[in-house]
Amino acid sequence: MLKSVSVIVLEPIAVFEFGVAVEVFGVDRTDEGIEPFDFRVCGVEPGRPLATKNGDPFTITPQRGLDSVLGTDLVIVAPTAPQADEAYPARVLEVLRRAHDEGATILSLCSGSFVLGAAGLLDGRRCTTHWMYADEMKRRFPAAEVDPRVLFVEDGRIVTSAGTAAGIDASLHLVRKELGTAVATKIARRMVVPPQRDGGQQQYVDLPIPSCRADSLAELLTWMVEHLEVEHTASSLAARAMMSERTFARRFAAETGTTPHKWLTRQRVLAARSLLEESDLSVDQVASRVGFNSAVVLREHFRRTIGVPPSDYRRRFGAVTTELSA
């Protein structure tokens, strides 16, 4: 059962995510019938103030050393700026490996996953991090299976969470798993957050228009984006590019890294996302505007790419409040 929690802090500390760990595990909720956790904030040099990220005009001082990490049921790695593996204190990496070997669950918040990677704890495991760092994480730790679409990943006793508020999701998941739904719901209610969110972090990702690796198709790609409502076929696109269908398919794949159908579907989803954010068009109207032949088709592709249905996305990100068609 989850009774003791330690948080390892490294300079510079990401304040919000560190606060998530404190709020979920460090607040005494005895008055609500929840037994308090043995909560410890641990640093390499106890008593030394640590700077926070983004030039925040205050410091955080861990009162305990790394020895206090060992023996706790849950070890949380608070996020810090991603660094080269050798830049992380060797003692921290060793303590993480030892704590895991002794049976502790390890949770990283946001970029804290890089510390786990440097300790070798992500090799052969599914994991995640903030979507902005996902490509760097894949390069740094090729033995890890990085999934940038999800809010958190649990692989054995290693839990990694995505950016910022996803740490709340991962923390409440562990509370729910170890102490039950009722306790997780009480903590979530006190924090005024949903006990469990749907979707993944891909709904928050800035998805740029895929670039072309050369200029020979640039004019055609621009035209396609400007005419998403048109029914495009491989034959019609090849004719417009003045190529045979076989040559066009080969050239398109070489220069964009995908097929015309997949590329076009991606652009239609991106255009639909913009319309859901900025317009009061219904889902049916959005589908028609971007070239999907029905709202059903839009919903299928939108959920697959963004992670949530169009109606849910608009409720979260839309600038215009409107009634959506069913």
Task: Write out the residue range of the structural domain in which residue 102 sits.
Answer: 4-204
Contact yes or no for 15/81 (Cβ under 8 A) = no
Query: Do 167 and 112 share a structural domain?
Result: yes
Query: Do 52 and 189 share a structural domain?
Result: yes
Count of domains observed in the chain: 2
189 and 223, same domain (yes or no): no
If you count DSSP H runs as helices and E runs as strands, how many of each does the chain have, helices first?
A: 13, 10
Nearest to 105 by CA among 125, 65, 78, 76: 76
Q: How far is CA 11 from the centre of its chain?
A: 22
Residues 189 and 71 in one domain: yes
CATH number at residue 112: 3.40.50.880
CA pair distance 69, 39, nearest whole angstrom: 10
pLDDT tens profile 248-298: 998 888 888 889 999 899 889 988 988 888 888 999 999 999 999 899 999
Q: For residue 46, is it within any domain? A: yes
Quick one: average pLDDT of 236-255?
90
- Mean pLDDT, residues 15-21: 94
Domain final position from 204, 238, 265: 204
Q: 163 lies in a domain? A: yes
Do residue 115 and residue 10 come from a single domain? yes
Per-residue pLDDT band for 199 (boundaries 50, 70, 90) equals low
pLDDT of residue 213: 47
Residues of the chain with pLDDT > 70, as a percent, come to 90
pTM more than 0.85? no
* Pairing assessment for the beta strands 105-108 and 158-161 based on DSSP bridges: parallel
Same domain membership, residue 162 and residue 244: no
How far apart, in whole angstroms, are the C-alpha atoms of residue 74 and residue 79?
16
For 251-269, letters b (16+ CB in 10 Å) and e give: bbeebbeeebeebbbbbbb
- Residue 246 forms beta bridges with which residues? none
Q: What is the structure's pLDDT at 215?
A: 54
Residue 285 lies in a domain: yes
> End of a domain among 176, 204, 232?
204
pLDDT at 1: 85
Residue 326, domain member (yes or no): no
Q: Are residues 86 and 181 in the same domain?
A: yes
**142-167 mean pLDDT:** 90
In terms of domains, do 226 and 183 share one?
no
The model's pLDDT over 28-80, given as tens digits with 9 standing for 90+, comes to: 999 999 999 999 999 999 999 999 987 667 899 999 999 999 999 999 999 99
The percent of residues above 90 in pLDDT, for the chain, comes to 59
- Report yes or no on 266 lying in a domain: yes
Structural contact between residues 298 and 310, judged by C-beta atoms closer than 8 angstroms: yes
Residues 276 and 154 in one domain: no
pLDDT over threshold 70, residue 207: no
Residues 13 and 133 in one domain: yes
Task: Indicate if 175 and 240 belong to the same structural domain.
Answer: no
CA-to-CA dists, residue 235 to 173, 246, 267, angstroms: 50, 10, 19
65 and 103 fall within a common domain = yes
When pLDDT is averaged across residues 182-200 and rounded to a whole number, the result is: 76
